[in-house]
Amino acid sequence: MDYNEFITHVQSLAQSNSREEAERATCATLETIKERISGDEAQDLSAQLPQQLSQCLQGREGEPDQSFNLQDFIVRVSQKENLEPTTTAIHVRAVFAVLQNAVTPQEFAKLHRHFSHDYEEMFGTPPTSEVPA
């Protein structure tokens, strides 16, 4: 999946007002994923994404994962986006849904294992292939 397709799907799923908002949401979510998972895992994930998105996952190589719950995840993304947590939660779900379709099932399963049970709602999203372009 290329960059434009990824952002278009996020914008559609999040019912975002603008492409720029979808881009901010995507990078803010990926940066927070980077904080949550180990640096090496972030590097593996970034290898399967377009360059513009992989940059959001770089910078923690060799560092361990941090443990924080879904609420804290949403708050962190919300602060990066400078939006209300309710809106941010919709954006995060959209990014996770598109991410699921952008990387291999094996890589997504590996990512899933880094998240505690309270994140399950982020992993139960429909494939973006069902979303009209």
Domain range list for the chain? 3-128
- Averages of pLDDT over runs of 10 residues in the chain (133 residues) are 96 94 97 91 93 91 85 96 95 95 93 89 58 41
Q: Are 31 and 56 in contact, with CB atoms under 8 Å apart?
A: yes
pLDDT at res. 133:
39
pTM of the model: 0.89
State the helix-helix crossing angle for 70-81 and 19-36, rounded to 10 degrees.
140
Topology given in CATH for the domain delimited by 3-128: Globin-like (1.10.490)
Q: Are 3 and 53 in contact (CB under 8 A)?
A: yes
For helices 85-102 and 19-36, the axis angle rounded to 10 degrees is 80
Q: What is the identity of the amino acid at 37?
A: I
Count Cβ atoms below 10 Å from residue 84 Cβ, excluding itself.
Answer: 9
The residue written with tokens 């998105």 in the block is: 53
Angle among Cα 89, 101, 112 to the nearest 5 degrees reads 60
